[in-house]
């Protein structure tokens, strides 16, 4: 069965510190992986996606993610967090035909000044 696990419900980091948000997935075929960000009261915005090729993908706003097949992980990273990055982050896995996405339960990021 397909599933996505984000083990950290809340994370607090200081502004300027590095960030890593964890994502593990269970999927029966080659996964298509995504990270989205949701600001309060808003819809989701795509940060980055992985389909194939280089396992380190770059996204918008200085984010990157690394696909590790052996660990079934797709962790999101940012070297230096800004206060505006405070939001909720969702990892998702897509079916090959993109009929549907499976989302994790989200990680809420708080940024301390």
Partner 1 sequence: NAGVMQNPRHLVRRRGQEARLRCSPMKGHSHVYWYRQLPEEGLKFMVYLQKENIIDESGMPKERFSAEFPKEGPSILRIQQVVRGDSAAYFCASSPPGAPDTQYFGPGTRLTVL
Residues interacting with partner 1, by CB under 8 A?
4, 6, 32, 36, 41-46, 49, 51, 90, 92, 94, 97-106
Nearest to 30, CA basis, from 91, 97, 89, 104: 97
What is the closest distance, in whole angstroms, from the C-beta atom of residue 112 to partner 1 in the complex? 22
Q: What is the DSSP string of 48-68?
A: EEE-SS-SEEE-GGG-EEEEE
Q: In the complex with partner 1, which residue's Cβ is closer, 27 or 36?
A: 36
* Residue closer to partner 1 (CB basis): 41 or 113: 41
For the CB of residue 99, give the shortest distance to partner 1 in the complex, in Å: 4
Q: Which is nearer to partner 1, 15 or 38 (CB)?
A: 38
Least distance to partner 1 from the beta carbon of 75, Å?
17
Helix or strand (DSSP H, E) at 112: strand 107-112
Question: Using CB atoms within 10 A of its CB, is residue 31 exposed (0-12), middle (13-18) or buried (19+)?
Answer: buried
């Amino acid at each position: 069965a397909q599933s996505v696990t984000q083990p950290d419900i809340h994370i607090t980091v200081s502004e300027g510190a590095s960030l890593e948000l964890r994502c593990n997935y269970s999927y029966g075929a080659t996964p298509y992986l995504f990270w989205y960000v949701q600001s309060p009261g808003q819809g989701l915005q795509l940060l980055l996606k992985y389909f194939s090729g280089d396992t380190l993908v770059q996204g918008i706003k200085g984010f990157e993610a690394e696909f590790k097949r052996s660990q079934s992980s797709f962790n999101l990273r940012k070297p230096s967090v800004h206060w505006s990055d405070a939001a909720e982050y969702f990892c998702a896995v897509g079916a090959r035909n993109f009929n549907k996405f499976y989302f994790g339960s989200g990680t809420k990021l708080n940024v301390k000044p």
